[in-house]
């Protein structure tokens, strides 16, 4: 039940992103390539977060816990069962979806800020249990010991980075395509409806319960893929991914880019990965500047950057169509 016009526009979007992305590792220095891999991961998480929070209006802060669950599950399976990393990653995503659905069940009875509190409780319990675990099951504060991901450790670092870059790019393109398809399907319409007015949507026959659970599930699949990728890319998993700072960074990507829009989270992720890289030179002032940027951006542009860009794009299109 996809709108045809929307589907026709998907191919050019992916093609443009792909053609920009494909030659980059040959043009850019290596550290920027690794930065782009980080951008892929955070962009995908921000997109999934945007589906749940920005579009469906369920204020969940549980996305990083889902991400971490996928990563930990992937890594743990690789270490302890010796199965292929690809199978492990698949089960990682399954675990992420299970976590997401578990979080959804108590959350969907609540509204607004209470959902934030419910999901942050899950996140915090997960984080504290991980950091204080001394049984050796998760490696506690030190995380899981090193394991081999999709790419063999015997290759040179630059070769591994190159292969991982293309895996990351593929993951980014697939997720972006999936988000586009979801947003333009009946399901996406239902997400938008409950996000904009839950009461009206419910009175028009959209099941709040079902739609919100589905938002969590779809968000879980996407965030879980990013988590599984992250885990096999670094070959280790540490509780730091659950730190407040990481959560704030990814959350800021969604908000500053523009929540509730398609392009917003991608834009925000690109901007913040780039800004925080640039800020490394300012060293001890880095956090101060980052915090100020977040305050200024949210006060000056409560809708984020995307509406500005989309308005500009619409103008261009009008020029071309004339």
Partner 1 sequence: MNTLFAILYTGIVLGSIFATSAVALALIYGTLRFLNLAHGGFLVVGGYVAWVAAHGLGLPLYAALVVAAGAGFALGLATYLIMLKPLIGVGSPRWDIATIMASIGLAIVIEASILLIFGPRLKVLPPAVDGGFVVGTTVIRYNALFLGVAAITILLATNWFLKNSRNGIALRAVAEDVNAAYLMGIPSGRIFAVTVAVSGALATAAGVLLGSFYLLRPNGGLDPMLTAIVVVVFGGLGSIKGTVVAAYIIGFLQAAVALVFGIKWALPALFAFLIVVLIFRPYGLYGAPEDARI
Closest CA to 261 of 180, 206, 147: 180
| Number of residues counted as binding partner 1 (CB under 8 A) | 44
Q: Rounded to whole angstroms, how far apart are CA atoms 81 and 103?
A: 27
Q: Least Å distance between CB 109 and partner 1?
A: 7
Nearer to partner 1, 10 or 240 (CB): 240
* Contact between 292 and partner 1 per CB under 8 A: yes
* Contact between 145 and partner 1 per CB under 8 A: no
CA distances in angstroms from 224 to 9, 65, 162, 227, 254, listed in the order given = 26, 10, 22, 5, 17
Closest CA to 48 of 33, 60, 36, 32: 60
Q: Least Å distance between CB 196 and partner 1?
A: 9
* Contact between 116 and partner 1 per CB under 8 A: yes
* Contact between 278 and partner 1 per CB under 8 A: no
Nearer to partner 1, 216 or 234 (CB): 216
* Contact between 291 and partner 1 per CB under 8 A: yes
Closest CA to 217 of 90, 96, 53: 96
* Contact between 308 and partner 1 per CB under 8 A: no
What number of helices (H) and strands (E) belong to the chain? 14, 0
Among 181, 298, 307, 309, binds partner 1 (CB under 8 A): 298
φ/ψ of residue 144, rounded to 5: -75, 140
Among 5, 27, 113, 199, binds partner 1 (CB under 8 A): 113
Binding mask 118-137 for partner 1 (x = CB under 8 A): x-xxx-xx--xx--x-----
φ/ψ of residue 133, rounded to 5: -70, 120
Contacts by residues 291-297 (CB-CB < 8 Å, ≥ 24 positions apart): 294/248, 294/252, 294/256, 297/255, 297/256
Q: Least Å distance between CB 123 and partner 1?
A: 9
Among 252, 267, 269, 306, binds partner 1 (CB under 8 A): 252
CB 93 within 8 Å of CB 226: no
Token pair recorded at residue 90: 């698949």
* Contact between 209 and partner 1 per CB under 8 A: no
Contact segment (CB under 8 A) with partner 1 among 3-11, 155-163, 208-216, 251-259 equals 251-259
* Contact between 244 and partner 1 per CB under 8 A: yes
Q: Rounded to whole angstroms, how far apart are CA atoms 47 and 253?
A: 9
Among 38, 167, 293, 309, binds partner 1 (CB under 8 A): 293
Interface positions with partner 1 (CB under 8 A): 57, 59, 106, 109-110, 112-114, 116-118, 120-122, 124-125, 128-129, 132, 244, 248, 251-252, 255-256, 259, 284-288, 290-300, 302-303
């Amino acid at each position: 039940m996809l709108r045809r016009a929307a589907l026709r526009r998907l191919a050019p979007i992916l093609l443009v992103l792909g053609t920009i992305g494909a030659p980059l590792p040959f043009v850019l220095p290596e550290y920027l390539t690794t930065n782009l891999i980080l951008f892929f991961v955070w962009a995908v998480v921000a997109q999934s977060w945007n589906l749940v929070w920005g579009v469906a209006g369920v204020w969940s802060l549980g996305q990083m816990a889902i991400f971490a669950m996928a990563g930990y599950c992937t890594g743990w399976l690789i270490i302890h069962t010796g199965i292929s990393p690809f199978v492990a990653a698949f089960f990682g995503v399954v675990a992420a979806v299970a976590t997401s659905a578990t979080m959804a069940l108590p959350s969907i009875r609540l509204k607004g800020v209470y959902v934030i509190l419910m999901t942050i409780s899950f996140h915090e319990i997960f984080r504290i249990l991980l950091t204080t675990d001394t049984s050796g099951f998760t490696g506690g504060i030190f995380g899981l010991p090193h394991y081999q991901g999709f790419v063999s450790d015997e290759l040179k670092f630059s070769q591994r980075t190159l292969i991982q870059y293309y895996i990351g790019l593929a993951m980014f393109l697939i997720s972006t395509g999936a988000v586009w398809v979801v947003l333009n399907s009946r399901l996406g319409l239902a997400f938008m409806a409950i996000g904009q007015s839950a009461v009206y949507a419910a009175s028009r026959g959209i099941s709040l319960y079902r739609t919100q659970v589905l938002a969590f599930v779809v968000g879980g699949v996407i965030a879980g893929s990013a988590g599984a990728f992250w885990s096999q890319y670094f070959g280790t998993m540490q509780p730091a991914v659950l730190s407040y700072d990481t959560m704030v960074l990814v959350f800021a990507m969604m908000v500053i880019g523009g929540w509730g829009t398609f392009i917003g989270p991608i834009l925000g992720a690109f901007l913040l990965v780039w800004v925080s890289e640039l800020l490394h030179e300012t060293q001890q002032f880095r956090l101060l500047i980052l915090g100020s940027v977040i305050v200024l951006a949210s006060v000056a542009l409560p809708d984020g950057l995307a509406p500005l860009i989309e308005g500009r794009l619409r103008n261009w299109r009008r020029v071309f169509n004339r």
